[in-house]
Amino acid sequence: MSRAERLLELMQSLRLRRRPVAGQALAEELGISLRTLYRDIDALKAQGARIEGEAGLGYVLKPGFTLPPLMFSLEEVEALALGARWVEGRADQGLTKAARGALAKIAAVLPPERAEALDWPTMLAAASRAGETEAASLPLIREALGAGRKLALAYVDKDGRSSARVVWPVALGFFDHARMLAAWCETREAFRHFRLDRMEKVALLDERPPKPRRALLIDWRRAEGLDE
């Protein structure tokens, strides 16, 4: 491994961690000595990397520093392509365009032999495409999630009963045969899951939920037993 590759690997190792990590652990992960690790950290700091910590206490990378495009392995390229094509088949036009744009940007910085893996993938993602109702609802739901706004739904349950709901969006789930919104329902006063293909109408409201989405997500995970 060249020194440039080693520095990129070190940056990636730090990016993946939110808490300080011991220098010894980093050195063992990279297969280098502690002395070499300390020199590499000093080199990254000299290039502007916001690495905080010191020997004996551990190191953490603070946000705000980017390196030139990283070299992806062939497996990483294939994983990115598979994920982007999965999104293309299950999301709305906005996310589909974003997925294609991301692949184009990745291809632009890859050497030819790696970029070829994007054009001639070895793995394909079969997708159940969103119906017209889902395709119309998705952009509004994503906007509500991003802006922290409530949604008004005209919803039909599995038994064909219609109801009007005001919900606080938490997260979108993309499954093989359905797309689902997890949200706090003001009518039921509890978290509920709403299939997008059963939403007859979706309206973005000006009103904001009383809790930020991150807090709602924590509450939802706890209610679903996902943190146990």
CA distances from residue 152 to 186, 208, 227 in whole angstroms, order as listed = 10, 12, 29
Same-domain check for residues 154 and 110: no
User: Based on the domain organization, do 103 and 155 belong to the same domain?
Assistant: no
Answer yes or no: do 24 and 83 share one domain: no
Question: Is pTM, for the whole model, over 0.85?
Answer: no
Structure tokens, 184: 């706090």
Verify that 107 and 142 share a domain, yes or no. Answer: no
- Res. 125 pLDDT band, cuts 50 70 90: low
User: What's the pLDDT at 32?
Assistant: 92
DSSP 4-22: HHHHHHHHHHHHT-SS-B-
* Residues 89 and 150 placed together within one structural domain of the fold: no
Pick from 15, 16, 14: nearest CA to 37: 14
Total domains in the fold of the chain: 3
90 shares its domain with 157 = no
Give pLDDT, residue 65.
Answer: 58
Residue 202: pLDDT above 60? Answer: yes
Provide the residue range defining the domain that includes 99: 74-119
**Cα distance from N-terminal residue to C-terminal residue, the chain:** 40
Q: Measure the CA–CA gap between 57 and 60, rounded to whole angstroms.
A: 10
17 in any annotated domain: yes
The DSSP 8-state label assigned to residue 57 in this structure reads: T
Spatial neighbors of 153 by CB under 8 A, at least 6 apart, are 164, 165, 166, 167, 194, 199, 201, 202, 203
pLDDT in tens, 30-77: 999 999 999 999 988 888 888 888 777 889 988 765 555 456 777 888
Say which range, 7-21, 141-155, 210-224, has the weakest mean pLDDT: 7-21
Domain assignment present for 69: no
Output the pLDDT for position 128. 60
Residue matched to tokens 């969006």 = 169
Res 89: pLDDT:
72
| Of the listed ranges 67-81, 95-109, 130-144, 176-190, the one predicted with least confidence | 67-81
Q: Do 90 and 179 touch, CB atoms closer than 8 A?
A: yes
Does one domain contain both 140 and 210? yes
74 neighbors 63 (Cβ within 8 angstroms): no
